[in-house]
Structure 1
Amino acid sequence: MLNTYLAASTAPSVEQPTQLQPYGLPTYVTASDAIADFRGDDQIYVLYPRKIERAARTFVSGFPGEVMYAVKANPHPSLLKILWDEGVRDFDVASIREIELVRDLLPAAKLFLMHPIKSRATIARAYELGVRDFSFDHADEVQKILDSTEDATDLSLHLRLALPKGDAVMPLSGKFGADYDTAVSLLISARAVAAKLGICFHVGSQCLAINNYDRAIAFARRVVDAAGVKVDSIDVGGGFPVAYPEMPIPPMSDYFDAIGQSVKAHGFDAIAVYGEPGRALCAEGGSTLTRVELRKGSDLYLNDGTYGSLFDAGQFGWKFPVKLLRNRPPAPCANTIGFRFFGPTCDSSDTMIGPFHLPADTCEGDWIEVGHLGAYGQALATQFNGFHSQHTVILLDD
């Protein structure tokens, strides 16, 4: 829907951002325009509305159920507004701050507090702000929900299942979820106090094996049958992947088809179905523009790093797409080499092995656009050592 906010697109002067500023952010056509206009010393965070719109349309039109955005992936208000404009109406929130952010920004949104373990204050504030959907994986958590809502009779409770370790790049099986026997018992007891009862799980972040969803849905079926209770919804969680360098993925339509077929095959097609995309909705719609402060051989020292938006590049060794941006002559050379990155802090762990392939003559003063950081990039950035950025821009270039 971005074209409803913009007149015919013409390149803005590099001296000033365009006056058309959808979602309240400085707006440029290209990253080079944004860099030329920048007078600060920090990294620049970028949102690409058209990419976010496309991702949202893919899910809203193709996912076989309701799309519930996982706010933790990127809670930027402008991004949330873009998703809303493209038809996303449900939001997975985990804290008082996320609840208040979305409720203030999008009053009509439906909020789901799908964090299985919450403080009593969080539960009470959520209920006060209209949240009725809560997840749990333990009997004590159900009691906390009842206590904190004064034994409300309009609750939708979603039991989080523990799944065996799957094939996701980042497994999420170790912290939350009830095992088979516990899950059966919890479904029976929760049915007596819940206006609506659901079952949910998470196959792991960046799930590359589509059949993991069928295995999880089949497991959910066994748990429900053993409990002998009626459930009103199934939430297949997140895990929908993005194509990073050296990490190709199947088409998203293959995931949707497989989930739809599995839901039907296991008898859940007559109830509400939810999915919780986070990364897949926003990763490609964001990037970071970071400046080279010094080069030592094949090592580049940047003004962003693992304590900023490049956490995954340092902590997990993920490779992100990179592009050199130079607003001065000479043009970058054609041949490339693999670089290692270091962030700006004093901590030696602020290291990103890569390798990140850039022109061999990359040097101090050059800028690098690191792509696919719309998810878990800006959201994980800290203010450690005083290095952080509050500057986000919109780029119209696709």
Structure 2
Amino acid sequence: MKIFVKLIHLLIPVLLVWNLVACEMVVPPPPSPPQPCTDRETALDFGFYAYFEPVSYSADDNPAVPDFNTHLGYEADLLSALEAMEYTGLSFARSGIAAWDRIWLLSAQPQFDMVGGGITILDSRTYNASSERVVAFTSGHIAFRQSLLVRVADADRLASHDLLTSDVRVGVLAGTTGEARLLQLTGLADDAGMLRAGTRIDTPQGSVVSDGSADYAVTAAGASPALKGRMHLYPPRDDMPQVVYLGDDLGEEVNIAEALRLGQVDAVARGEIGNRDAVHALGPDFTVTGLDSEVEFGGFTLPVENASLIACINEKIDWLTDNRNIGYAEWRADPGVFRQRADQWNAQWPKEEWHCFSFVDNRYCWQ
């Protein structure tokens, strides 16, 4: 009996090779499709910041119209590619968000399952006001670095952050990495965000002067209560710039470059992507200087307890970005690049019926 089994075991590969010649269809076993990221039948509610063109923005600036919830830009195409990937179970019901303030924490609220919009990944942004970790970031899918948007005529004078003096007005948006990095790079704040002693800050409640303590601190995750609604910051020394706070609850990214064009500020401290896009919109009289050596990454937030969903989405994001080898520059050159990666993902899985059987320790399949 043992000899018979051995003979059969030897004959099966021979028969399969013959079948390959005759039918041209014997191949190694196909890969098994992955399990979906979620088994829910409804889409994930995704909130996106509506005013960060070209990374994440709405088809219409007005929150009162339906097109405000039509998502455009780099992140929109990345999400659409996630939806196009087979066997992921991912789909997104997208809603525009007008206010930037602590937008990353909204995924911990019932309204949203996931939030994006050019949000820099920072551990400090995963905690709520009670110092509880409530959200987690996905893999970084886009690289950011800070910069200065200036007039061409001022490019040499404002070539780097260490050239910014007290007669220079730099526009920022409160609560952004652009603000936080500007304060650190110019020495107005230390690495913990505490403003240098003697710094004067104008607020709607009046002017306050920093004593160098944590009572006067600004980070990309928030600021001390005494600095709420800050409008203008005056440096304690001549070798540091003034900081002018621009924008309001709506359309902040739309208005900030306009402030430079109108002469309300001398420079705008913001990410390189946004500033280079502003140069394209404003024309040849403007340029980008002061490129930061530190690179940051942007991601999406989800509730911290959704660890398995986050891990699954991370795997798919890493596929679409080829482990960060495909990013904003590649998307700018070809907006279809993420969909092409999704098509490559889909091509891995068999589309025709397979017939398989197992014998002893081997599995044999054919179409």
TM-score range, shorter chain: under 0.3
**TM-score normalised by length of structure 1:** 0.23
**TM-score normalised by length of structure 2:** 0.24
Relative CO higher for 1 or 2, CA cutoff 8 Å, sep ≥ 6? Answer: 2
